[in-house]
Amino acid sequence: MKVAIIGAGASGLFLGNLLKLNNIDFTIFNNGKVGRKILASGNGRCNIGNTNLDSSKYHNNPLANKLIKNKDKVFNLFKEMKIYLKEDSEGRLYPISESSQSILNIFTKNINNIVDLKVEKIDKRNNKYVINDKYDGFDKVVIAAGSISSVEDTNIYNYLNNLDLKFNEFKPSLVGFIVKERVKAISGVRCKCNVSLYNDNKLIHSEDGEVIFKDDGISGICIMNLSSYYQHLNNINKPHIRIDLLKNNKYESLESVINPKLLEYINKNDIDPYNMVLSIKDTYGFKNSQVSKGGVDISSLNDNLSLKSDNNIYFSGEIIDVDGVCGGYNLFFAFLCAYKIYEDLKWNIKLMG
Ligand SMILES: Cc1cc2nc3c(=O)[nH]c(=O)nc-3n(C[C@H](O)[C@H](O)[C@H](O)COP(=O)(O)OP(=O)(O)OC[C@H]3O[C@@H](n4cnc5c(N)ncnc54)[C@H](O)[C@@H]3O)c2cc1C
């Protein structure tokens, strides 16, 4: 069996390693820098997973729910690959080196068949798949091509047009918000607080974290998490964020509690420090986002992640319409997909005798 993998990111590289361990023939086709998002992840420290893994971290997506059952198998494979992890106080897992480069080195050291190529065409001839009219003889194709978040060339999915599948438009997620209020005066200020997303006057999600004010909006991990809930809203109506700068604590004076620039701003604008309301104009764009909501709809896929319309073509990782909050969940989803496909390919080989 010969497998073509499109994409040398977290999912494609992990799958390549699993196929290598089992002597399954494969070629990876990748456009641009290998493992670019692995390197960028976790601020260069690679937040590779989380001990609090459950489907709620993926907006209760049923596919994530099924794949999570294999989490221990993925962790065991990390051990086999001699990837040693450490956990922070919020269950986030990092390599002990705290370096994304060490994960990329491990993922690439046994893989010598990555072709630098932008895949633009996949054809089927004589029951085999041909990539860009040039590379042929593939029995299976795994599309692990990620999303358009944080990429320069976004015109990378034309080959999907020939496939019978439902593709949900990408939207930037894990990203900051542009707000209607003028916040330039406090640009650069950071504060630890409680943030809540409201839509249609209903509370959607709330959490504690650090907010970073920008020239025209807000960011920070807790805000990026709110964006993830925002992109899952069906009807957007007067969306806004309420910030409790004091996390419900009582103080006689705020002078030593709130950043002086921010204190001056809230006093000047008569803002309640327990309820600073910022109206959402939009999110920032794909360039600033860590993941995309959208991609191949899970209704187009079988449980083994192959296409219902062609069970020799699989989808893996972020290109599937499953996205998680910050904390290692998105990289881990990419690994869970790769593991599922690897199991299926092994089973196929057994069947072929
Ligand atoms: C700045 C940043 C920080 C992040 N931090 C974290 C974190 O700490 N923890 C976490 O869990 N997640 C994090 N993420 C998200 C995580 O990196 C992604 O969800 C994950 O890398 C997706 O893996 P993937 O293999 O599905 O896709 P990708 O890693 O995006 O890989 C896809 C590959 O396919 C290639 N490709 C695309 N189209 C084609 C084509 N037509 N032909 C050939 N090749 C193609 C791309 O060039 C790319 O190399 C972060 C993302 C960013 C941008």
Q: Give the model confidence (pLDDT) of 243-275 as tens digits.
A: 999 999 999 999 999 999 999 999 999 999 999
**In contact, 325 and 57? CB cutoff 8 Å:** yes
Q: Where residue 54 falls among pLDDT bands split at 50, 70, 90?
A: very high
- Count of residues for the chain? 353
CA 154 to ligand 1 center in whole angstroms: 13
CB 321 within 8 A of CB 297: yes
Report whether residue 32 contacts ligand 1, using a CB cutoff of 6 Å. yes
Compute, in angstroms, the gap from residue 245 CA to the centroid of ligand 1.
34
Residue 348: per-residue pLDDT: 87
**342 C-beta closer than 6 A to ligand 1:** no
Nearest-atom number in ligand 1 for the CA of 7 is 34
Range list of β-strands (E), the chain:
2-6, 25-30, 49-50, 85-87, 92-95, 114-116, 122-125, 128-131, 135-138, 140-143, 167-173, 177-179, 190-199, 202-213, 217-219, 240-244, 276-283, 291-296, 306-307, 310-315
Ligand 1 centre from 149 Cα, in Å? 8
Other CB atoms closer than 10 Å to residue 148's CB: what's the count? Answer: 22
Give the pLDDT confidence score for residue 352 in this predicted structure. 78
Q: Would the pLDDT of 128 be above 80?
A: yes
Q: Residue 152: its pLDDT value, please?
A: 87
For the chain, give the mean pLDDT.
97
Ligand 1 proximity of 150 Cβ (cutoff 6 Å): yes
Write the pLDDT tens digit of every residue in 168-225: 999 999 999 999 999 999 999 999 999 999 999 999 999 999 999 999 999 999 999 9
Which distant-in-sequence residues (6+ apart) come within 8 Å of 316 by Cβ?
11, 12, 15, 142, 143, 144, 305, 334, 337, 338, 341
**How far, in Å, is the centroid of ligand 1 from the Cα of 157?**
14
pLDDT tier for residue 60 given thresholds of 50, 70 and 90? confident
Q: Where are the beta strands (DSSP E) in 215-275?
A: 217-219, 240-244
Does 353 have pLDDT greater than 80?
A: no
pLDDT at 284 over 90: yes
- Angle subtended at Cα 284 by Cα 330 and Cα 280, rounded to the nearest 5 degrees: 110
pLDDT above 90 (res 350): no
Q: How many whole angstroms from 237 Cα to the centroid of ligand 1?
A: 31
Cβ proximity of 322 and 333 under 8 Å: yes
- Return the pLDDT at 68: 97
What pLDDT shows up at residue 349?
84
- Residue 89's pLDDT band (cuts 50, 70, 90): very high
d(CA 349, CA 353) in angstroms, rounded, equals 6
Distance 299 CA to ligand 1 centre (A): 22
Greater pLDDT, 160 or 350: 160
Q: Is 28 in the pocket of ligand 1 (CB under 6 A)?
A: no
Which atom belonging to ligand 1 lies closest to the Cα atom of 30?
A: 44
Q: What is the C-alpha to C-alpha distance for residues 136 and 2, in angstroms, rounded to an integer?
A: 10
Of all residues in the chain, the percent with pLDDT exceeding 90 is 96
Residue 351 has pLDDT above 90, yes or no: no
CB of 229 closer than 8 Å to CB of 241: no
